[in-house]
Chains A and B, each alone.
Chain A
Amino acid sequence: MIVKRPKLSWWERTYFPAILKGMALTFRHIFRKRVTLSYPEERWELPKRYRGAPILLTGLDGQEKCTSCKLCQFICPPEAIRIVGGETEHEKEKYPEEFTIDMGLCIFCGYCEEVCPVQAIWLKDEYELADYDRNDLIYTKEELLKRGRRPPYLPGIEKPLDGSE
């Protein structure tokens, strides 16, 4: 590679043109639009498929959709998911007695969502998950279901709980 070494004129070698050019640039930037987001007041518009807090979904009958197949537990890279299966009278026959996700471990990779055969687990666009106690970061089944009570759902596949489209 040939590095160009242009011959500088006398005026350029005084260093002044470069300084003035630089100062003009920084001055112009004062009036530019700020890139900072004033966070609590302004919020980032999340992408449609943002992977935030994991949730459990319920079907139209109000039952949790999870069949306790434990695929998500096996694929979870940091082993954050723990499921204790149990039998149920419902036609799906199996359900999770316990379903806990340790959010201190979760890496938001979305493998659980991808691997789930019944679309029971979902990563929602919720990202303010900080807490003061590690034990509060272990989400139980009830909490995960409660977080799942609101959209977003995937149009065409998931339906909102109240039956409206």
Chain B
Amino acid sequence: MIAFWDAYGMTILVPAFVKIVVILAIVMTGVAYTTLAERRVSAFMQDRFGPNRVGPFGLLQPVADGIKFFFKEDVTPREAYRPLYLLAPLITLVPALIGFAVIPFGTSIEIEGTVHPLTIAPDMNVALLYILSLSSVGVYGILLAGWSSGNKYSLLGSMRGASQVISYELGMGLAILSIVVATGSFNLREIVEAQKGGDGAWAFWFCLPHFLGFVVFVVAMFAETNRLPFDLPEGETEIVAGFHTEYSGLRFAMFFMGEYAFMIMASALITLLYLGGWNFPFVDWASFGPVWGGLLSMGWFLGKVAFLLFVFIWVRWTIPRFRYDQLMDLGWKRLFPIAVLNLLIIATWYLLKGSPS
């Protein structure tokens, strides 16, 4: 034990623990303030003020919401299947949070000669697959929540959620595959480094050469996070909030947090795969020094993520919900062929040009 500590303690365990705490804090704060941003931006788009009473500009509203959720009664319906009913919110929230283990937030920080990459699990070579599988696990939460609630509307919502996953994940997988073809890696850090462009000058972000894949992936991410225009599992106007109709109190808050954490992860993924991660045109972060370079790259990365979160909210309050058959039509007849076309173009390009790595 002591030998293990001597060998790995200060080099791996403590930095990893610190990174977990910091990144979790960033993500949870992000979740809290995305809910506030959602409410305020939606209000602005409807010529309203939104919540602006708790603290300056309503900035303490998430705290008040959290306290309220804690003191709400946690109701289990009589018809519910209790074990799964209680487990389902966790199954939604936990994958959304542990997905952040592989997301690189910036370049790296060098302290006393040791380089600490700004990722919890820095050298995971299957990071992309890991995130894909976790995002699919999130659907189990929705499915189990809807089924175990013992409520028709909840079941309808969860069935919709499950069939929605099948129809968009193909297109999403193929879009990601073209990225993998272009970089020859599943490692998110290497994918970002590949977007640095020739000799670090003009940023060569993948949203331009992979434009079709970019569109498909963004649409699929909207579906993945169950947000309008693809919020069929919830569908307030049709099936009374769908899978989480029966949930209240802290368990409802878990679904809520899961959705927003997934939104942040989706924004981070879009940034990493298509918007060049922390790459800034003509800027080499290493030139700012060992610590500041890493922090600045992290700031720029989080800035992009924040912008994408705004786009998520923006789209939600603009576009009406798709009808069920329209979603199937979009997933199978539009996104899937476009993704295949994109993959063909990219694969042909790299076949003619020679292998990327």
Contact = CB atoms under 8 A, between A and B. Distances in A.
Interface residues of A, number: 14
Contact of B315 (A23, A25, A33, A35): A23
The majority secondary structure among interface residues of chain A is: helix
Contacts of A27: 45, 314
A29 B319 contact: no
Interface in B4-56: 41, 44-49
B49 A26 contact: no
Given A29-B46, A34-B49, A22 B41 contact: no
Contacts of B47: 29, 32-36
A38 B44 contact: no
Contacts of B314: 23, 26-27
B318 A23 contact: yes
Nearest to A28: B45
A19 interface: yes
Contact of B318 (A22, A32, A35): A22
Interface in B147-171: none
Given A19-B318, A19-B319, A26 B48 contact: no
Interface string B306-320: 000000001101110
A130 interface: no
Contacts of B44: 29-30
Contacts of B317: 26
A31 to B, nearest CB: 8
Interface string B197-232: 000000000000000000000000000000000000
A85 B41 CA distance: 60
The number of chain B residues touching the other chain, given as a range, is: 10 to 19
A36 B49 CA distance: 7
A13 to B, nearest CB: 10
A26 B46 CA distance: 8
B319 A36 contact: no
A22 to B, nearest CB: 5
Interface string B296-333: 00000000000000000011011100000000000000
B48 A36 contact: yes
A119 to B, nearest CB: 42
Contacts of A32: 47
A19 B319 CA distance: 7
Nearest to A29: B45
A30 B41 contact: yes
Contacts of B49: 34, 36, 38
A29 B42 CA distance: 10
B223 to A, nearest CB: 15
A35 B49 CA distance: 9
Nearest to A18: B319
A27 B41 CA distance: 10
A22 B44 CA distance: 15
B48 A34 contact: yes
Interface string A26-51: 11011011111010000000000000
Interface of B: 41, 44-49, 314-315, 317-319
Given A23-B315, A30-B44, A32-B47, 6 more contacts: A27-B314, A30-B45, A34-B48, A34-B49, A35-B48, A36-B49
8 contacts: A19-B318, A26-B45, A29-B47, A35-B48, A36-B47, A36-B48, A36-B49, A38-B49
| 10 A-B pairs with least C-beta separation | A30-B44, A26-B45, A26-B318, A22-B318, A35-B47, A36-B49, A36-B48, A23-B318, A29-B45, A32-B47
